[in-house]
Amino acid sequence: MSDPHLVIDRVSKRFDPRVTLGDRIAARLGARVELRGVQAVRDVSLAIAPGETLGLVGESGCGKSTLGRMAAGIMAPTSGTVRLEGRPVMSPGGTKLTTRVQTVFQDPFASLNPRMSVGEILAEGPVAHGLTTRENARDYVAGWLDRVGLDRSYVGRFPHQFSGGQRQRIAIARALAMQPDVLVCDEPVASLDVSIQAQIINLFLKLRRELGLTYLFISHDLGVVRHISDRVAIMYLGRIVEIGTADALYADPRHPYTQALLASVPRLMTEDAVGAEFAPIAGEIPSPLAPPPGCPFHTRCPAAGPRCVAEMPDLVPTGAQRVACHLYTGGVELAA
């Protein structure tokens, strides 16, 4: 792979609850006051090469969006940095420093300002950042509308006049109009209908071909991620537990969580092959307020041993991918 382009370097994010003066006094007085924060992302490092698509998969609440936000420079990490071509995307004060990372969000109904016309939505950023002038904005916008397969005549319309798929195209056009290198897509097809989903996936594929975009593609749909990604990272409770090329990871998942996750998804069966059924993972995700010690997955892991409770596994190369599991670093029993 070529030089990394977007580098996420040991990034963590913690959400601390608001503590009032009263809470503090009460805590002094010995009352139980919730001071624990949510450790949404824990010490994650990733590097994405130019033109590469990295898929990020995980269950709800595991920190995908949080990581995506930090990668896009919308949210400041508690620790660690995100760099684009060596330069941080965000100042320590929380100001975004680059326009070269843009985002596409999940909900096409919420991601467009309902009070702005399509033209305004698309032109606002480029005009503000000097990518085009106010006078040329119309043509500029029309060009991007073409690109995402929307009619130029739509510039004057408002978001509520479009269907979900069309809105998502507008959202993509808005991101593209900023001429980004990297697109962070946070579940961009999750809320679309099946028949529309394919259109948008195809659009992403086409844009990658034509513009050489780099994607951080977040989804919980394993099928979609597989289809679009070069590499895939699996997240669990704020940590990356396995990362590798899509083919290798799907063909030979190493982490027990990845294995269970892949097995738990019902597959579309059209043959009478009844045997290949899915099997759910036992239990539920622990609360991020009180993450279990050691390996976060040990509470649900069929292969867990004493070491998993005591020790947090590191992400180490295992086969074609990198995995954070004790199974591959000496077993789950505690070393004597």
Ligand X SMILES: Nc1ncnc2c1ncn2[C@@H]1O[C@H](COP(=O)(O)OP(=O)(O)OP(=O)(O)O)[C@@H](O)[C@H]1O
Residues of this chain, 280-299, that bind ligand X according to CB under 6 A? 288
Total residues interacting with other proteins, rule: CB under 8 A: 100
Quick note: the x/- pattern for other proteins over 197-236, rule CB under 8 A, is xxx-xxx-xx-------------x-xxx-xxx--------
Q: Is 60 a residue that touches ligand X (CB under 6 A)?
A: yes
Pick out residues in 153-192 that bind other proteins (CB under 8 A): 153-154, 157-158, 160-166, 171, 174-175, 178, 184
Q: Out of ligand X, Mg ion, other proteins, none, which partner does residue 40 contact, by CB within 5 to 8 A per kind? A: ligand X
Pick out residues in 140-169 that bind ligand X (CB under 6 A): none
Output the 3-class SS for the chain.
CCCCCEEEEEEEEEECCCCCHHHHHHHHCCCCCCCCCEEEEEEEEEEECCCCEEEEEECCCCCHHHHHHHHHCCCCCCEEEEEECCEECECCCCCECCCCEEEECCCCCCCCCCCCCHHHHHHHHHHHCCCCCCCCHHHHHHHHHHHCCCCHHHHHCCHHHCCHHHHHHHHHHHHHHCCCCEEEEECCCCCCCHHHHHHHHHHHHHHHHHHCCEEEEEECCHHHHHHHCCEEEEEECCEEEEEEEHHHHHHCCCCHHHHHHHHHCCCCCCCCCCCCCCCCCCCCCCCCCCCCCCCCCCCCCCCCCHHHHHCCCCCEEECCEEECCHHHCCCCCCCC
Single residue of 3, 10, 15, 133 touching ligand X by CB under 6 A: 15
Q: Out of Mg ion, other proteins, ligand X, none, which partner does residue 139 contact, by CB within 5 to 8 A per kind? A: none
C-beta of 47 vs 198, nearer to other proteins: 198
Q: Out of Mg ion, ligand X, other proteins, none, which partner does residue 111 contact, by CB within 5 to 8 A per kind? A: other proteins
Q: How far is the CB of 324 from other proteins (least distance, A)?
A: 18
Q: Is 313 a residue that touches ligand X (CB under 6 A)?
A: no
Q: Is 60 a residue that touches other proteins (CB under 8 A)?
A: yes
Single residue of 12, 53, 65, 299 touching Mg ion by CB under 5 A: 65
The site for ligand X (CB under 6 A) is made up of: 15, 38, 40, 58, 60-66, 220, 288
